[in-house]
Chain A
Amino acid sequence: MLLITCPYCREARPEVEFAYAGEAHIARPADPSAVGDAAWRDHLYIRSNTRGLHRERWRHVNGCGRFFNAVRDTVTDKFAATYKAGAPCPIDFAREGAER
């Protein structure tokens, strides 16, 4: 079974305790009515669909209940890092050569 380290519980816990919650670091426009239709559509629906390291949200729903962010390789399913919501991503994506 896949083990995921929750940054709040600071423990590796079984995958069944977690829920996936989509791509991370997507900022909602501060004033949605000021952005155009295309930009709003992109915000709502268009995601990077990365092959390789992907920054994504997870929730420890059957544990501490917290949302947090993770960097996972979508090819190998390996977690490179997990970190608290609001914290900067600990992996330098430019240096890793990832797409984003």
Chain B
Amino acid sequence: MIQARMIQEWKTLAGTPIPEVAGRLSVALAPDCARFSLRVRPDDRAALDAPLGIALPDRIGGVAVGAGGHALCLGPDEWSLLLPAEAAAGLGERLGAAVTVPFSLVDVGHREVGIAVSGPAATLALSSLCALDLDAMPAGSATRTILDRAQAVLIKHDAEQYRIEVWQSFADHVWTLLEVVSREIALDL
């Protein structure tokens, strides 16, 4: 635990903030949260809704809000949970006691960094790293994709609010690209 914490502090991007482009684009570290990878058979999914306090979305790309956080459906039997630290404490034990269906819950809290990208130019900025049609991506959806060459999960809250969840080891790369894009948008290139 202590070691994991040190790694996270060492890899933090807080030391190299990206200047805000007034009224157009803001790139900042998202508040840290607990993260879990949840795997369960689609037919058994509903059994977890009540103990989790979130109705797990049944469609790939779906995002559900609950328990102070988010549940993202990333694959047919795969969900990612982003929860406040207090909601996450003892989650595995509570789920294990409440349900009888087989499931797997893995704490991946230290694996990723959250980056909030917001403002009217957010879609433009992300489109420079991402091959998806972000204008067509529905608000309130999430997907695993590729940002430049790095795998990441992209959450679109609405047309001007995105969140990137990227592995610690790729975060610096994505952050640096966002810094460059931000400068280009600031200079209206």
Contacts and interface: CB of A to CB of B under 8 A. Distances in A.
Grouping DSSP codes into helix (H, G, I), strand (E, B) and loop, the B interface class, with mixed when no group exceeds half, is: strand
B143 interface: yes
Interface in A43-88: 62-66
B152 to A, nearest CB: 9
B76 interface: yes
B78 A14 contact: no
A63 B143 contact: yes
Contacts of B131: 1, 14, 16-17
B60 interface: yes
B153 to A, nearest CB: 10
Nearest to B76: A8
B61 to A, nearest CB: 7
B60 A17 contact: no
Interface of A: 1, 8-11, 13-14, 16-17, 62-66
**Would you list the 6 A-B pairs with minimal beta carbon distance, nearest first?**
A14-B131, A64-B75, A62-B146, A65-B75, A9-B60, A62-B151
16 contacts: A1-B131, A8-B75, A9-B60, A9-B61, A9-B143, A10-B60, A14-B131, A14-B146, A17-B146, A62-B145, A63-B143, A64-B60, A64-B74, A64-B76, A65-B75, A66-B75
